[in-house]
Amino acid sequence: MSSVSVVYALLFYFATAVLVAGVVRKIVQYAKTPAPLKIPTTPAPVTQGGVVYRMAKEVVLFSSLFKSNKWIWIFGWMFHFALLLVLLRHLRYFTDPIWGWVALIQPFGKYAAFAMIIGLAGLWARRIVVDRVRYISSPSDHLMLALLLGIGVSGSLMTYVDHTDIVMVKAFFTGLMVFDVNSLPTDGLLLVHLALVVALMIVFPFSKLLHVPGLFFSPTRNQVDNPREKRHVAPWAAKLDAQED
């Protein structure tokens, strides 16, 4: 077994730990921080079921973004849903036997890579071409797109141009899951692809990728519009009341 395999095994363990611990820490932090006032952007649902529907529209259809800007919406939605398909397709490298539905989406997942690349390229083009978006972009915004695009392109090259030994790759990952380090093929493309994925996993909890958990905790979207019917008081605010009485 090559030292590359050991290095990559360690990298994946480290990245997974950072990703999970980092995101869990953030989720706990968001969940623990109170929202002392009712601030849903209205018109807002008046029932909890309505909020679930509103959130589902935001998460699945990006409905606010759709209202806002059709170009960002089409590129953004295309990228995210292609990425989802691609990720699901990749489950085949982690389970043995391959789950039926994962096998079923395999062809869609393969082509989704193109949609993902087009979406990312569109978003990047806007970042460069539209004066307003260029103004608000910092180096990290470009790097993030570069990283994702790098992952998409290197992955597609392996799918369509220069195959790697996929059986060996699968053995490597299924091995990692039971703390058993197997050999990884040493093709350049694969190593680049995996290194970029490791980088993405590590930056996730420290970057704007926190919009993923953030969306679910956004009080302007997830609160029920019922302040007159139901008194809403945060613990720290209740203390102010207690001091007075």
Partner 1 sequence: MADFETPEMKEVLSTPKLSRGATEHVSPYVAKPDHQEKLGFPGELVENFEEVAINKMGDLLGKYRGFRVFLDSCVKCGACTDKCHYYLGTTDAKNMPVARQDLLRSVYRRYFTFSGKYFPKLVGARDLTKEVLDEWHTYFHQCSQCRRCSVFCPYGIDTAEISMAAREILDSVGHGQKYCNEIIGKVFKIGNNLGLPEPALADTLEGLEEEIKDDTGVDVKLPLDQEGAEVLLITPSADFFAEPHIDGLIGYAKVFHAAGISWTMSSYASEAANFGMFIGSYENMRRISRRIRKAALDLGVKRIVFGECGHAWRVAYSFLNTLAGPWDFLDPKYPVPQHMLELTHSLIQEGKLNLDKSQNDHIKPTFHDSCNVARASRMGNKPGGQFEIPRAVIKSVCNNYVDMEPGTTHEATFCCGGGGGLLTDDLMEIRVKGALPRMEAYKKVVENNGVTNLVAICAICKAQFTKVMPYYGYGMDSIMSAHQLVSNAIVLPGQGEETAEPVEASEA
Is residue 162 within 8 Å of residue 187, measured between CB atoms?
yes
Among 231, 242, 243, 245, indicate the residue that binds partner 1 (CB under 8 A): 231
**CB-wise, 44 or 112, nearer to partner 1?**
44
Dihedral, CA of residue 155, residue 157, residue 162 and residue 168, to nearest 10 = 0
Half-sphere exposure (CA, 13 Å, Cβ side) for 104? 3
Minimum gap (Å) between residue 126 Cβ and partner 1: 7
Q: How many binding residues for partner 1 (CB under 8 A)?
A: 64
Among 143, 163, 188, 239, indicate the residue that binds partner 1 (CB under 8 A): 143
Is residue 156 within 8 Å of residue 127, measured between CB atoms?
no
Among 96, 97, 100, 135, indicate the residue that binds partner 1 (CB under 8 A): 135
Among the listed ranges 100-108, 129-137, 146-154, 155-163, the one in contact with partner 1 (CB under 8 A) is: 129-137
Q: Which of 119, 113, 104, 122 is nearest to 86 (CA)?
A: 113
Minimum gap (Å) between residue 96 Cβ and partner 1: 36
Among 228, 242, 243, 245, indicate the residue that binds partner 1 (CB under 8 A): 228
Among 39, 52, 56, 146, indicate the residue that binds partner 1 (CB under 8 A): 39
175 touches partner 1 by CB under 8 A: no
Is residue 155 within 8 Å of residue 113, measured between CB atoms?
yes
Among 35, 98, 166, 195, indicate the residue that binds partner 1 (CB under 8 A): 35
Alpha helices (H) in the chain, listed in sequence order:
3-32, 48-56, 63-68, 70-89, 100-129, 131-136, 139-160, 166-177, 188-203, 211-216, 219-222, 235-244
48 touches partner 1 by CB under 8 A: no
